[in-house]
Amino acid sequence: MMDATPAAGDGGTGGTAAGMADFLVAPMEAAGDDGAVAATGDRLGTFALAAPPDPACGFPTDIGFRVVPNTGTVPPDQEALKTAIDSTLTSLRIILPPDSDDPAVTRRFGEYFNRIYSAARVGLVTPAYPEVARPDLQAVREEIVYREGPAIVNGYLKRLGTRAFLHVFAALLVHVAALIVEQIGRGLLEPFDLHNLPLMWAGAMIGAWLSVGASRRAPTLEDLARMREDSLDADMRLLFVGLLTLVVGLVLLTDLIVITVGTFDGGRIEDSWMIALLVGAFCGLGEKAMSSRIVQQAQSMFGGGGGSAGAGAGVDGGAPVSRPATAARDAARETGAASGR
């Protein structure tokens, strides 16, 4: 069990800031010999540590690393441990802001910080045992995910779901308004034929929310930090997904990409509200793959590459679908429109 934990009166956050700062100095820096060390060999630590109090909150929130003179090149295992500690502290400060007004948040931050600092002392300061510090640091990371993860994930889902619902409601209003205008205009807007695109937007909002909740991969510490940051920009994420979905809708309507699976035809988004909603939901569920696919398609069109394999053709059980399939679909649309008139 590591005993290099910083002094703390209450879970690592109590006591005076000055007393904590005095303790949070590695022995090499406190010795007054400019970091010279007597130990040699495999256990030589190449770093000296310091954790002065942050003026914003009065207690340490970061660890300062200094390479000790005359210790040679930093060993790869110590360099990797230092990088992991830096990454862990960065995520911890996002997940549990040390300047929070909630005493419980600062108390838990202090608990984790003390253990991270202890791992740094054991793995980087002479005598250095990085092979011991690595699993200790990993245990801290796993505990943060286990204790803080559910609240962060659930909070993110609630915030994203609330914003997604508002986007869905707005999209449905736009869809209804487009239908009313089309009826009042007596076909004046028929050439545009875009009244189902808002339904694609609504489906994309639902899919984007489901993509977070349906993920089976356990979140990492970095995932939790990203969720904490992204929760403040939920509208930006939904706007990004929605605009990409509209691009996909226009691509399907212009037959730049034809998607057919069995009897399903992605280009019929203007003939069926269910298809529009379903395609939008798939776009939201696969937002990351969708964005890279659109970029590849644009590069193939304007980069002189001669076009992508999916352009102008669809996929029907893995086999390309010829252009006559698209022509038949267009003929069916025209027949249906004529019969309607």
Kindly report, residue by residue over 222-238, the tens digit of the pLDDT.
Answer: 999 988 887 657 888 89
If you count them, how many residues does the chain have?
341
Residue 321 confidence (pLDDT) above 60: no
16 pLDDT exceeds 50?
Answer: no
**What backbone torsions phi and psi does residue 197 show, to the nearest 5 degrees?**
-60, -35
Q: Report the distance separating Cα 303 and Cα 286, nearest Å.
A: 25
Each residue's pLDDT tens digit, 136-185: 999 999 999 999 999 998 988 899 999 999 999 999 999 888 888 777 76
Q: Among the listed ranges 22-26, 108-112, 199-203, 322-326, which one has the minimum average pLDDT value?
A: 22-26
Record the pTM.
0.66
- At 42, the pLDDT band (50, 70, 90 cuts) reads low
| Phi/psi at 48 (5° precision) | -115, 145
Token duo for residue 151: 């609240």
pLDDT at 90 exceeding the cut of 50: yes
Distance of CA 44 to the CA centre of its chain: 38
Quick check: 106 pLDDT over 70? Answer: yes
Q: What is the spatial distance between Cα 274 and Cα 263, in angstroms, rounded to a whole number?
A: 14
Q: What is the pLDDT of residue 213?
A: 77
Whole-number pLDDT of residue 178: 80
pLDDT of res. 250: 84
The stretch 96-114 carries a mean pLDDT of 93
- What per-residue confidence (pLDDT) applies to 129? 94
* 21 pLDDT more than 50: no
Compute the distance between CA of residue 6 and CA of residue 214 in angstroms, rounded to an integer: 41
289 — pLDDT class (breaks 50, 70, 90):
confident
Taking residue 81's Cβ as centre, other Cβ atoms within 10 Å add up to: 23
pLDDT of residue 188: 57
- pLDDT above 90 covers a percentage of the chain that reads 36
Element housing 93 (H / E): helix 76-95
Instruction: Determine how many CB atoms are found less than 10 A away from the CB of residue 303.
Output: 9
Give the residue-averaged pLDDT of 274-285: 88
- Strand bridging mode 314-316 / 264-265: unpaired
pLDDT at 256 over 90: no
Residue 23 has pLDDT above 60, yes or no: no
* Position 216 confidence tier, pLDDT thresholds 50, 70, 90: low
Q: Quickly tell me which residue has 């202890």 as its tokens.
A: 118
What single DSSP character describes residue 257? Answer: B
Q: Which of 61-70, 112-121, 148-157, 275-284 has the largest mean confidence?
A: 112-121
Residue 84's pLDDT band (boundaries 50, 70, 90)? Answer: very high
What lies within 8 Å, CB to CB, of 247 at 6+ separation is 294
Is pLDDT above 60 for 327? no
Percent of the chain at pLDDT > 70 equals: 70
Question: What is the spatial distance between Cα 156 and Cα 164, in angstroms, rounded to a whole number?
Answer: 12
Q: Is the pLDDT of residue 7 over 70?
A: no
